[in-house]
Chains A and B, each alone.
Chain A
Amino acid sequence: MSRFLKLFPGDKDFREVSEREWDVPYEPFKDQNGLGNILGLTADVRVFDRPGGRLLVARKWPSRSFIRNFARLMRMMFSGANVDMLSTAAAPFATKMALDSFFSGHGVMPRRSTIHRSGAGMAVGDGAAAEDHTRSDLVSRIGDIITANGAVATTVDSAATLTLQITQGITIAQSGGITAREIALFLLIPYKDLEPTTTEGAPTLVAYDGIADTPVAQGGVIAPRYTLNFPV
């Protein structure tokens, strides 16, 4: 039988809820300390016994949280001045967000017809450490970063809100399975002066969450998902 666990804002412990209640989106987060929540970030993971198989457990919570790379993207959107991003190796690099491109005609991101490993990416790990806004990678990433650029969906588009979801199922091949303890969202974004048709996007961590120990057997699937909600 599937288990549905949900953490409500302000609570310290997950509650076991019905599937229906689990599916209900969070209400927009309330103002805190004079600040309004203009982009709500929530996360969930689902574990299946095999690809396309039975859901074993689903866990959802308000995310913690965006990493400085996401803040740097925002800063460039408003300042128009370059701020280097940091790759998973913590190496700074410039993008085409706010610097002209060496290759004429290319935007910040290539389209899929020119490069496949770009856009959103997701990964899981089995490390544990205190939350750190300056993190550049998972503490202990398991396997590669899986592209998720085909799994970005606009789930709500109304006058009151826009909601985006990014998810990706990751099938576990490791003998004996894994115990996931962390999930992350990446943006695979090309360097400014590299030819997009010949290179991959640099893996750049933008959101990270530690999670309770989540066992996934060999052949099972773990599907982390981030939901970005833009309420007015």
Chain B
Amino acid sequence: MDKIIGADKRLILPKDAGRLSGPEGMGVWAKWEIEIRDGSRLLDKREGPSHSFTKNFGKFIRNLFDIRDEVNESLVQLSGASYFPRIKSNPACSGGDVRAIAAAARIRFGNSSAALDSNQFDLQGTILSLTFGATTNSLISEDAVKTEFKSEGQVTNSTGGSFTVQEMGLYSQVNNEPGVSQDTLMLRDLTGAVVVADGLTILGRWTFTLAV
């Protein structure tokens, strides 16, 4: 029997269209995963549904769709400072030939279990290690049914003691109008308590799904 889809039950997708189990439509879906590794050895792995775009993401999208001169949504970088992203800059803007996104997003982990709030612009607790983890971003599939892609990065605990991760965040590197990259929190998720012993590595991953 063919699978009946569509809001009005009129649109028909053949049963062999290759749909995997998962959401159908309704926007963007995501899950987070973390892995604790000792070198190449996997020690622990867990995952959960992501709940977590910040307001920065929505305002970035609005700036793409709304080009009115009087509407320019500012974003908030991790220090709490607002800035205008290089999305609809005026021709007179300084900074030269820069793109909107400077480089791959960065990840970091913290130890706060504070509730999610779309106004948040940084993790809420102490940060594991001083540096961000670089991310790699991969397309998993793009076909007639869906796009799936992932963003993942890792940090090694070099604090000298164990660290309990409770949260992780993904920061896009968005150029401001003068063309200076700003670490801008786009997602924050709560992971539950995960202990990372000194010298171990924690890897975080978001997998995004957009499906019809």
Q: Determine if B57 is an interface residue (Cβ-Cβ < 8 Å).
A: yes
Known A79-B105, A130-B11, A162-B118; further 10 A-B contacts with Cβ < 8 A? A33-B21, A35-B31, A36-B49, A71-B149, A77-B57, A77-B186, A101-B97, A109-B63, A115-B67, A119-B67
Q: A38-B50, A129-B11, A134-B144 are in contact. Are A81 and B27 (CB under 8 A)?
A: no
Q: Determine if A222 is an interface residue (Cβ-Cβ < 8 Å).
A: no
B10→A212 contact, CB < 8 A: yes
Main SS class of interface, A: loop
Can you list 15 A-B contacts with CB-CB less than 8 angstroms, sorted by A residue number?
A37-B27, A38-B28, A39-B28, A39-B57, A41-B25, A63-B26, A80-B105, A101-B98, A105-B89, A106-B93, A107-B89, A118-B67, A162-B59, A211-B7, A231-B51
A64→B22 contact, CB < 8 A: no
CB distance from A200 to the nearest CB of B (A): 12
Residues of the A chain whose Cβ atoms lie less than 8 Å from the Cβ of B146: 133
Measured CA separation A139–B89 after assembly (Å): 34
CB distance from A60 to the nearest CB of B (A): 9
Query: Within residues 77 to 95 of chain A, which ones have a CB less than 8 A from any CB in chain B?
Result: 77-81
Q: Determine if A154 is an interface residue (Cβ-Cβ < 8 Å).
A: yes
Q: Determine if A108 is an interface residue (Cβ-Cβ < 8 Å).
A: yes
B116→A113 contact, CB < 8 A: no
Q: Determine if B82 is an interface residue (Cβ-Cβ < 8 Å).
A: no
- Which of the four size classes fits the interface of chain A? 35 or more
Residues of the A chain whose Cβ atoms lie less than 8 Å from the Cβ of B65: 119-120, 148-149, 152, 164, 166, 187
Query: Which residues of A line the B interface, CB within 8 A?
Result: 7, 9, 12-14, 29, 31-42, 61-66, 68, 70-81, 96-115, 118-120, 128-134, 148-150, 152, 154, 157-162, 164, 166, 187, 189, 196-197, 209-212, 228-232
Measured CA separation A79–B173 after assembly (Å): 9
Q: Which residue of B lies closest to A153 (CB)?
A: B66
